Amino acid sequence: MFEILNQLLALAEGSLSNPATAVPVYVLAGLASSLFPCVYPLIPVTAGFLQNRQQAGQARWLHPLVYWSGTVLSYTILGLVAAIGGGAFNIILQNGYVILGMGLLFLFLTFVMLDWVPLSWSGGDRLMHRAAAYGGLFFTLLMGVVAGLVASACVAPALVTMLVFIARETAAGGALTPGMVAYGGLLSFAFGAGIGVPFFLAGILGARLPRSGRWMSVIKYSFAIVIFAFALYEFHKGFTVLGFEDFDAYLILGGIALCLIAVALGLRPPAPEDGRAKTRFFFAVLALAFSIGLVVRGLNPPTLPIAEASFEPLGNLNFHRNRDAAYAEARATHRPIFIDFYADWCTNCKDFQNLAQSHAALNSALGQAVLLKIYDTDPVFEEFATHENYRELQIGLPFFLVLDPAGEFQWKGTNYRDTAGMIGAIEAATPASP
């Protein structure tokens, strides 16, 4: 079950690198967030505000559009900050303990979404009403900005999830570039645009909206399920980066899931006469006991001896662990050399291993090369890191090299998703058949 979940969520995370997929997803996520029970009732109230601000001779859509622009602006700024932070701290964001922290954050946001931990920004309401007391487009814009920040407390689980993925997407590209920052701003712009759509339309049309009801709870709980799934995904990735075997990581994830079930069932001792509550309490305690047992067992796996090997297998691929042996094979077989610089703390390095097995074209191209894996703890790593052509290694990982059979440089890259670049470099470095 967890393996299928991890594959699905890894696919969802990878799809965010494609603007054609990511932008519509962010717009729909923002639109769905505007239907949360704590946001939806504000739509008709805001529509009344906007209609009352209209002055003689002004288009009916002007103030709603400016208000919407303010909301979009507030979220775009948050996205730009997330993108800059992700690019600047790309190494930190790949640390296993940081990834576990993200998992805890998602788990907390699940509790928030279930209303177990209320969030609010009461000061924002006062600022918005003060802005509403003044006329003019500037204060309408200010109302939109403040409304976006006020709503952010209500939609915090969805918003923070979006911002974390923006930061991670930026970090996945390696060194920070203006294009990555702009892409992060675009995604958060799409999220803010989605949230503002109902406010904009209600401000123009003044249409009556459907009544609040259980249908909004369905949306809210659906978000809670998705965010909890991402929490499990982050926990699994974090434990994998820290060197835990899949079985131990799944034990810990199962323990976390059981703990959530225990909390949902209720851990407060029931009244003696309430038989149904006593049954729930019994199963809650039982789930909690199993939860603790699974987590303790997962965190303390049996120690197994590690045998040294000259090769490190990865599915159908075999990576040399000795540089000289890899170079000798390349010269003897007239095949190019593909070098994967790797570290246990590097999330994207782990993701590349999965990609190397799941991407058919990349897997085939790697099979035509002599493969070499160099860990950040290997002595030879420093030789490459101090070379003037490979200074990227001083910034962080992942990092990839393609050399010709004679060991001469052909290609380098830091983006583990650049499968086309890797395949093209391997093909270009392969000598033509006589």
Q: Please state the φ and ψ torsions of residue 383, each to the nearest 5 degrees.
A: -60, -45
Q: Please state the φ and ψ torsions of residue 34, each to the nearest 5 degrees.
A: -70, -15
Q: Give residue for tokens 């309430």.
A: 274
Q: Within 13 Å of residue 1, how many CA atoms lie on the same side as its CB?
A: 7
User: Is there a contact between 352 and 340 (Cβ–Cβ < 8 Å)?
Assistant: yes
User: Is there a contact between 370 and 429 (Cβ–Cβ < 8 Å)?
Assistant: no
Cα dihedral sign, 359-362-365-366: negative
User: Is there a contact between 342 and 373 (Cβ–Cβ < 8 Å)?
Assistant: yes
pLDDT tens sequence for the chain (434 residues): 455 555 555 555 565 667 788 888 888 888 887 777 667 767 777 777 777 777 766 777 788 888 888 888 888 888 888 778 766 666 666 677 778 887 887 788 787 777 776 655 454 455 556 655 666 777 777 777 777 766 666 666 677 777 777 777 776 665 667 777 787 888 888 888 888 888 888 777 765 666 666 767 777 788 788 788 878 878 887 887 777 777 787 788 888 888 878 887 887 787 777 778 888 888 888 888 888 888 888 777 655 444 446 889 998 999 999 999 999 999 999 999 999 999 877 878 888 998 999 999 999 999 999 999 999 888 899 899 888 888 888 877 889 999 999 999 999 998 888 999 999 999 999 987 65
Q: Where in the chain is the domain with CATH 3.40.30.10?
A: 311-429
- At the topology level, CATH places domain 311-429 in Glutaredoxin (3.40.30)
pTM to 2 decimal places: 0.55
